[in-house]
Chain A
Amino acid sequence: MRIVPTGGISQVKETAMPRESQDNIRARAIEWHIRLRDGDDAIWEAFAEWLAKDVRHAEAYDAVETADRAIEPLLPHVVIREAANDLDEPAPPPARRRWLRGLVGGTIAASVAAAVLLFSSPPSSRYDVATAPGERRVVALDAATEVTLNGATRMTFDRDDPRFASLVSGEALFRVRHDARNPFRLEVGANVVEDAGTVFNVVHARGEVRVAVAEGKIVYNPGAGAVSLDAGQGLVDRGARDLRVTDVPVAAVGSWKTGSLVYAGAPLSRVADELGRAIGVRIAAAPSIADRPFSGTITLDGSGVGQLRRLSPALNVVVEERPDGWIMRPAGSVAP
């Protein structure tokens, strides 16, 4: 077992500054930690001053920072439950889900919805499959239905229902046997993708759903407001009626599976995300360039972070390693 020694909060100096309680110090340390992430000059200098004032400050800050870093490798695997897209529950009909989503924002309504969902958990035949960043996994649901999970992805399946899957977060490629009487249904947050004999790719990240179809046909959110997609089409759904259908090159659909990433004007934040999933590290694009479009094909050569460095001129960025992952910054300029 390998555990890094962490600076616990010392009890010895309890009497040094009796008016400042341990709880108080910890609360301050947490505040600093939150502010520092995007902190400006004044915040850093005030923090340095606070830190030097009392050794307990440094100890408390250390504990908070260590705790925050401890969760880093776990974060890709946690499920952030939201009333509108909690996926461990029996699937209400899509119309009701949208109704729930409409209520989020009204705190009382949302907590009522959360309570309903929490207490209606069935004796579950559902199970989760999660991949670490950089890991791939193939789940065969039946002889002709196969789901390939990209890295940093979490899905829920059902032992009793091989025609059900839910993409909690991340990206997966689906090769689905068509059965008109019993269609394959994929839940993505509050949305449903229903196949009509198909190979398709779905990404669920940053509150956005992206679907791309390589073969056959799918129906997105069947029922009123359904959107049909044929091979060579895709859609981006940002919620709140912001849904766009686009053309996608068929060869690009799920191309990550064979080690290439194909982009036509994709925002850099997405390129960073997908590279991270493929390479197995956390990569983010600095906010100033997150929306910058990128077009081109990246062929993964298996050299991981080494390739990231070599790619940076092509992406017109500089990459920098931070304790919590890699960040892409605009080439030739730097944000703190």
Chain B
Amino acid sequence: MNDDGLVRLFGELRPALARYLVARGASTDEAEDILQDVHMKLLADDIGPVSQARAYLYSMTNNHFLMHRRTAGRRVRREEDWVDVNGGRDGEVDERPSVETELIAREQLAILQRVLDDLPERSRIIFRRFRIDGEPQRRIAEELGISVSAVEKHLARAYEAIAAARLRWDEDRSDRRHLTGERNRHAT
């Protein structure tokens, strides 16, 4: 399917995508905003042939939904920060990780590490290949000589454990670090 086809299909699928967004918890206004973004992106990007076009549009819509929610969350926090720091301007928000967030991150890491350590070895390795190495289930299944549904069972077990651990997501953490040059910190 070529670029035009994708935009046309988007037009046809739009009501279904809007329903999807609302089902995911967006308001109808938000859903419209998100779909508008998706539409603009489809028009702007030179997108080549797509094999599973509807899946592509759904997953793109879902990504935009997540980004939208993330921006909204950040905006709310920035307003809260603004009150907290008592007059600090937007551009001056301290982006360095506080001792507290560092401690939380370390604690979260310890929880995740324990969850993974407690998994059966095979589930843990399959989870790594799927989630960290990004390998498709089919390839993992072929290489291990087991069925795709067996791979899925291992993954489900890993995700059950992770979801049950209720890790909290501090979403600013992941994009706070930038490469600013070499840190010559010596440790012994």
Which chain A residues have a beta carbon within 8 Å of chain B's beta carbons?
Answer: 1-7, 26-27, 30-31, 33-41, 43-45, 47-48, 51-52, 58, 61-75, 77-83, 107, 110-111, 114, 129, 132-141, 151, 206-207, 257, 278-281, 284, 287, 300, 302, 304, 318, 321-323, 330-336
Hey, which chain A residues are within 8 Å of B73, CB to CB? 4-5
8 Å CB contact of A39 from B55, B66, B121, B171: B55
Question: Is the beta-carbon distance between B59 and A206 smaller than 8 angstroms?
Answer: no
Chain B's nearest CB lies how many Å from the CB of A25? 12
Hey, which chain B residues are within 8 Å of A323, CB to CB? 63, 66-67, 70
Question: Is the beta-carbon distance between B132 and A140 smaller than 8 angstroms?
Answer: no
Q: How many contacting A-B pairs (Cβ < 8 A)?
A: 214
Chain A contact residues: helix, strand, loop or mixed: mixed
> Closest 3 interchain pairs by CB?
A333-B48, A70-B169, A336-B56
Question: Is the beta-carbon distance between A114 and B20 smaller than 8 angstroms?
Answer: no
Q: A1-B104, A34-B152 are in contact. Are A334 and B49 (CB under 8 A)?
A: yes
Hey, which chain A residues are within 8 Å of B82, CB to CB? none
Q: By the criterion of a CB under 8 Å from any partner CB, how many residues of chain B are at the interface?
A: 79
Q: A82-B121, A136-B183, A138-B186 are in contact. Are A64 and B163 (CB under 8 A)?
A: yes
Separation of A318 and B47 alpha carbons in the complex (Å): 9
Residue of B nearest to A147 (CB): B187
Question: Is the beta-carbon distance between A81 and B117 smaller than 8 angstroms?
Answer: yes
B100 at the A interface (CB under 8 A): yes
Chain A's nearest CB lies how many Å from the CB of B142? 13
Question: Is the beta-carbon distance between A336 and B183 smaller than 8 angstroms?
Answer: no
Q: A39-B59, A44-B59 are in contact. Are A78 and B133 (CB under 8 A)?
A: no
Separation of A277 and B175 alpha carbons in the complex (Å): 13
Residue of B nearest to A82 (CB): B125
8 Å CB contact of B24 from A27, A51, A74, A257: A51
Question: Is the beta-carbon distance between A30 and B160 smaller than 8 angstroms?
Answer: yes
Hey, which chain A residues are within 8 Å of B137, CB to CB? 34, 38
Question: Is the beta-carbon distance between B55 and A40 smaller than 8 angstroms?
Answer: yes
A-B contact pairs, 23 of them (CB 8 A): A2-B77, A2-B101, A27-B160, A34-B159, A36-B59, A44-B55, A44-B59, A48-B16, A58-B23, A62-B24, A62-B25, A67-B165, A68-B159, A69-B171, A70-B168, A73-B174, A77-B109, A111-B120, A135-B179, A139-B188, A302-B181, A304-B178, A332-B48
8 Å CB contact of A322 from B19, B63, B184: B63
8 Å CB contact of B179 from A68, A77, A129, A280: A280
Separation of A46 and B105 alpha carbons in the complex (Å): 36
B124 at the A interface (CB under 8 A): yes
Hey, which chain B residues are within 8 Å of A111, CB to CB? 120-121
Scoring A41, A47, A333 by chain B CB atoms within 10 A of each residue's CB, the highest score goes to A41
Question: Is the beta-carbon distance between B177 and A133 smaller than 8 angstroms?
Answer: yes
Chain A's nearest CB lies how many Å from the CB of B134? 5
Hey, which chain B residues are within 8 Å of A70, CB to CB? 108, 167-169
Hey, which chain B residues are within 8 Å of A133, CB to CB? 177
Hey, which chain A residues are within 8 Å of B19, CB to CB? 48, 52
Residue of B nearest to A76 (CB): B132
Chain A's nearest CB lies how many Å from the CB of B45? 8
Hey, which chain B residues are within 8 Å of A75, CB to CB? 131-132
